[in-house]
Structure 1
Amino acid sequence: MVNILLLSHGPFCEGLLASLQMIVGPQKQIYAIQLHPGQSPDDYRDKISDVLAEMVGDTIVFCDIKGGTPYNSAGFLKNKYSFTLITGMNLPMLISVATVRNEKTTVKELTNIALDKMSAGIELINLSLGGERKHAKLSLNKNR
């Protein structure tokens, strides 16, 4: 199974992981490492390196924003470890990836799912009076 590592400024990645597991259930081989306020980039990079060193098999690293310390730390570690790096992580993206990830899915398949525009979860919703009333549907069971 493809490993997943979530990196962010502050507890964002840990919150995403907790929310993901609330929605789709417990997940194996998903880790979150937050950058704490005042933590040095070297110390943060060492923590990421320790986790990557323990991972066996393919890995996708998700970061909150491009150009920040989590992203730069992962980019630096690409010289030592092999993984796919995706920035701009969000909950809809992780739900899409987690619901199809199994022992047979590949990094390429999961990357394509993560980068699909349907995984962005960004949409303008018009809730003005007189607008059409529709309920959003979030179901992991596609037969419903």
Structure 2
Amino acid sequence: MKRIVVIGHGGYAEGIKQNLDMIVGKPENMYFIDLTREDDLADLEKKVDGLLESFNDDEVLFACDLLGASPFRVAAMACVNHPGKYYTVAGLNTMAFIELSIESDLSIEEWADRAIETSKTALVKFPE
């Protein structure tokens, strides 16, 4: 099974969850973790590790708010410990999250690539 873990600062993950719930319903394969003001890096690592333990041997795609920030670093370390099974992306937009909410036959790496490409193609300027 493939799982997506949305992780970010403040209410980022909860905001994505509410956004998706309004548009497509609650995604079955997505999980949401926020780094709060009260959390330190160890707290965030515990939240992530606790969730990952419940996944058994599933593939995981982390979707983080900011490249290089604490949530990204925690996710990246999990990827280092699970090469080829875990991937991390950052900066996705709503279109990409909608696509990720739909089950896919793509590999976890292909899914990560598609989410990034979807974010890129959904960017527009109006009027052109």
Task: Normalising by structure 1, report the TM-score.
Answer: 0.76
User: Does the CA contact (< 8 Å) of 2:10 and 2:36 recur in 1?
Assistant: yes
Contact 2:88/2:112, CA 8 A, preserved across alignment: no
**Aligned counterpart, 2:19:** 19
Distance 1:112 1:77 in 2: 18
The correspondence for 1:97, drawn from 93, 97, 100, is: 100
Match of 2:88 in 1: 85
Q: Match for 1:29: what amino acid?
A: N
Deviation at 1:45?
Answer: 0.9
Matched positions, count: 124
User: Counterparts of 1:1-144 in structure 2 under 5 Å?
Assistant: 1-56=1-56, 57-81=58-82, 82-99=85-102, 101-102=103-104, 104-116=105-117, 118-120=118-120, 121-126=122-127
Q: Secondary structure at the match of 2:68?
A: coil
Larger radius of gyration: 1
Q: Which runs of 5+ in 1 are unaligned?
A: 128-144
Work out the percentage of aligned pairs sharing the same amino acid. 23
CA distance in 2, matches of 1:37, 1:15: 16
CA 1:15–1:21: 2 relative to 1, 3 Å? same
1:2-54 deviation line (CA, Å, top 9, x unaligned) = 10100000111111112112211221121100000131111111111110111
Residue ranges of structure 2 left out of the alignment (5+ in a row): none
Shift of 1:92: 1.4
Give the aligned CA root-mean-square deviation in angstroms.
1.9
Q: In 1, Cα distance between the equivalents of 2:10 and 2:93? A: 15
Shift of 1:83: 0.9
CA contact (8 A) 2:30 2:101 kept: no
Which has a greater percent of strand? 2
Q: Which has the higher helix share?
A: 2
Q: How many Å apart are 1:124 and its aligned residue? A: 1.0
The residue type equivalent to 2:71 in the other structure is P
Q: So what's the TM-score if we normalise by structure 2? A: 0.85
